């Protein structure tokens, strides 16, 4: 039997140092980087996403960064399709795909596949965006309850992304999502399709914090740095360049949501700082929860002094040729 080609997954919560490790690994090993980050896909959203700067991207190019406008949406299914295509290209060039990021749903979708629910429909999605902008997400949640009570009961009334997706599925198929996915739904609201096998030998590396307080300190420093670098100015320019509203996927990203509230006068500057840090901590907590149920081959302390060396030493024996 022919051995499967290798691929590496580098995962961890926000502020765990994933990007730095991946960039340095690209200098030491024959790997090519694929971003696994639902925020880095958006063009012109640089500061609030902690996007690698131009110098870093020259040193270690990342695929799947800056691929759509902030007015557009990108799904786990679209990521899986793009990632599989890129992984095949990278493997054909004799290199190893190194997928790095913190969007755990994307890793799950890639490894396990997705349900056979319909793909996003741009026209219906735009219509739902307009409804949300005019009437609010709670109104759409109430409409969902009328056609799919089971799904509506499972979702929080302010869970914009999942409410919109459930209503989109209903409008495409004429059937409630709950009847299509069955009882064994995943946290994403879509059932995994276990017949789809990823044709790679995966080695997963998780960068985990040995000290949660230290991770929280990193998160606070990082958000303060984003503000000092001009996050509010960046959002102001985004709003001038694109027809954005607060419920778009891009504007629900951590940091941008709070910055939007500040620009709208809903919160003051101390509240912006506090809410931004708290939201980022909550994101890290969700990422760590996902990681606990994710297959991992190698766990390393993200505060290890020679973290790059530790990861490199673990992966070097797995590099073919």
**C-alpha to C-alpha distance for 205 and 18, rounded to whole angstroms:** 10
- Phi, psi dihedral angles at 193 (to 5 degrees): -105, 95
Q: What is the CATH number assigned to the segment(s) 122-181?
A: 1.10.20.140
- Closest C-alpha to 254, from 276, 285, 225, 227: 276
What's the pLDDT score for residue 280? 97
| pLDDT on residue 192 | 41
- Give the distance, in angstroms, between the CA of residue 160 and the centroid of all CA atoms in the same chain: 16
d(CA 144, CA 163): 7
Cβ partners under 8 Å of residue 75, min gap 6:
119, 120
pTM (two decimals): 0.81
Strand order in the sheet with 298-301: 62-63, 31-35, 96-101, 6-11, 201-208, 298-301
Where in the sequence of the chain do the CATH 3.40.50.300 domains occur? Answer: 6-114+193-318
Output the six-digit token pair for 253: 């990203």
Q: Residue 49 and residue 54: Cα distance in Å, rounded? A: 14
Please tell me whether residue 31 adopts helix, strand or coil conformation.
Answer: strand
Residue range 6-114+193-318, CATH number: 3.40.50.300
Give residue 229's pLDDT: 98
What are 16's two structure tokens?
């765990």
- The residues with which 6 forms a beta bridge, in sequence order, are 201
Name the segment(s) of the chain with CATH classification 1.10.20.140.
122-181
Largest CA distance in the chain: 63
Residue for token pair 């799947």: 64
62 forms beta bridges with 33
DSSP code of 294?
S
Q: pLDDT 10s per residue in the chain (321 long)? A: 578 999 999 999 999 999 999 999 999 999 999 999 999 999 999 999 999 999 999 999 999 999 999 999 888 889 999 999 999 999 999 999 999 999 998 999 899 887 777 888 888 988 999 899 999 999 999 999 999 998 898 888 888 888 999 999 999 888 888 887 654 444 344 444 444 679 999 999 999 999 999 999 999 999 999 999 999 999 999 999 999 999 888 999 999 999 999 999 999 999 999 999 999 999 999 999 999 989 999 999 999 999 999 999 999 999 965
Angle, in degrees to the nearest 10, between helices 137-147 and 160-173 = 40
Q: How far is CA 134 from CA 155, 172, 245, in A?
A: 21, 22, 10
- Distance CA(132)–CA(22), nearest Å, equals 38
């Amino acid at each position: 039997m022919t051995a499967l080609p290798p691929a590496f997954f580098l995962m961890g919560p926000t502020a765990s140092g994933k990007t730095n490790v991946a960039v340095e690994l690209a200098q030491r090993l024959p790997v090519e980087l694929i971003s696994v980050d639902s925020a880095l896909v958006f063009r012109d959203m640089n500061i609030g996403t902690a996007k690698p700067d131009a110098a870093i991207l020259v040193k270690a190019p990342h695929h799947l960064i800056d691929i759509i406008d902030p007015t557009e949406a990108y799904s786990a299914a679209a990521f899986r399709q793009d990632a599989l295509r890129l992984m095949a290209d990278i493997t054909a060039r004799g290199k190893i795909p190194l997928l790095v990021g913190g969007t755990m749903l994307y890793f799950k979708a890639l490894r396990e596949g997705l349900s056979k629910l319909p793909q996003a429909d741009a026209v219906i999605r735009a219509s739902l965006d307009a409804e949300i902008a005019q009437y609010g997400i709670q109104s759409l949640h109430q409409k969902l309850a009328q056609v799919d009570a089971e799904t509506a009961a499972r979702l929080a009334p302010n869970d914009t992304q999942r409410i919109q997706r459930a209503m989109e599925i209903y409008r495409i198929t004429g059937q409630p999502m709950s009847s299509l996915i069955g009882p064994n739904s995943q946290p994403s609201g879509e059932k995994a399709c276990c017949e789809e096998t990823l044709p790679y030998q995966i080695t997963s590396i998780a960068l985990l914090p040995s000290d949660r307080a230290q991770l929280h300190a990193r998160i606070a420093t990082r958000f303060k740095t984003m503000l000092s670098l001009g996050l509010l100015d960046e959002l102001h320019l985004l709003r001038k360049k694109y027809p954005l509203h607060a419920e778009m996927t891009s504007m629900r990203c951590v940091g941008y949501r709070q910055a939007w509230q500040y620009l709208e006068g809903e919160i003051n500057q101390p509240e912006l700082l506090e809410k931004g840090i708290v939201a980022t901590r909550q994101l890290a907590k969700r990422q760590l929860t996902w990681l606990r149920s994710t297959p991992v081959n190698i766990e390393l302390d993200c505060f290890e002094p020679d973290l790059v060396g530790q990861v490199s030493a673990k992966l070097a024996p797995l590099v073919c040729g």
